[in-house]
Amino acid sequence: MKRLAIVLTAPLALLVAAVLPAQAQNAYSGYNAYFVQASAALSVANLNVSFMEAGLGNNPSVDYIASADAAATYVCVNEVGVNPRVTNKRTVTAPVSQGATFNPGDRGQVTATVTLAPPPAGAFSCPAGQSLELAQVSYTNVDIMDDTNNITAPIVGTFATQCLLPEVRNACSAIPAWT
């Protein structure tokens, strides 16, 4: 009876030994990649999108895209430090994005930060003797996407600065919106 049990269990043990390595390799090949966490925080006018993704396996590199909808208010400031006219302000709304590539390393995970910048002022310019300055910026609909494995982690919230030019009179009040 003992010999029969050994004869019957030996092929089963070989089958288990052959299948387990394939399952472990498959489980970390990138098909089971997932975001452990994703968050965002302002750094002056930029938005730092931080995340941790696991289940990446031995991919040599993973491509990421951070994106958001942004609204940036630009003003003209004269040499005295005043925004002389309400019409010398422009709010530009536009999608912003930034890509980056990271190596998952031996543990099959990436912990990183991708930084988004405000949209540029575009064609808005200031008269002679005035400088173009960023007064405020806000970001909404923020997300981080693993472009290699096609998965996205949304980051809920609105991330808005206070007035970046508190010493400039009229810099952050009565701003007309332009898209």
Pick the more confident residue, 176 or 81: 81
| Closest to 54 (Cα-Cα) out of 170, 153, 176, 172 | 153
- What residue type is assigned to position 142 of the chain? V
Question: Is 0.95 surpassed by the pTM of this model?
Answer: no
Span 93-141, pLDDT tens digits? 999 999 999 999 888 999 999 999 999 998 888 888 889 999 999 999 9
Domain map (residue ranges) of the chain: 33-178
Please report, for the chain, how many H helices and E strands are present, in that order.
1, 9
What is the per-residue pLDDT for 144? 98
- How far is residue 130's CA from residue 165's CA, in Å, rounded to a whole number? 15
Span 5-36, pLDDT tens digits? 444 444 444 333 333 332 233 334 445 899 99
Alpha carbon 89 to chain centroid, angstroms: 28
What is the per-residue pLDDT for 64? 98
Span 47-61, pLDDT tens digits? 999 999 999 988 889
Q: Please provide the average confidence, as pLDDT, over all residues in the chain.
A: 82
Pick the more confident residue, 94 or 83: 94
